[in-house]
Amino acid sequence: MTYTLLHHTGCSTSRNGLALLEENGIKPEIRKYMNAGDALTVDDLKDIAKKMGDVSPRAFLREKDAKKFEISDTLGDEELFEAMVQNPRLIQRPIGIKDGKAVLGRPIDKLLEIA
C-alpha cells in the first residue's frame, strides 16, 4: 500500500521527515495539504484521527498556531476539525499514513513506525 505524507514545504521538520523517508527507500505520495488543490476535509481529518487510534484532533494540533488564532482550550472536536479545515496552519506536520494507520512525525523518526 502507498505511504502518504501530509507535507508542508515551508516547514523544516516536514522537509526533514520527507528526506528521512527517502533515505530509507520510501517514496511517499506527497499531499501538500496547505495548497487549495490538496486541502483536507473534515472527513479526511476524522479519518486521520481514527487511524492514529481514535484520538482527538488536539493530538495533531499546532499549539503555537492555536494560540495565535485564538483557538479556545474548550473548543469541541467537531469545531476543532472545522477550524483546521478553515486554517490548515493549525495542523501539526508531517503526518504519515499507510495501511490504515497514521502517525505524527514528531520526532520525524516516528514516520518510520508505519513504513
**Catalytic machinery residues:** 11
What radius of gyration, in Å, describes the C-alpha atoms of the chain?
A: 13
> What DSSP assignment string belongs to 57-97?
GGGGB-HHHHHHTT--TT--HHHHHHHHHH-GGGB-S-EEE
SS3 state of residue 6: strand
108 vs 88: CA distance, rounded Å: 20
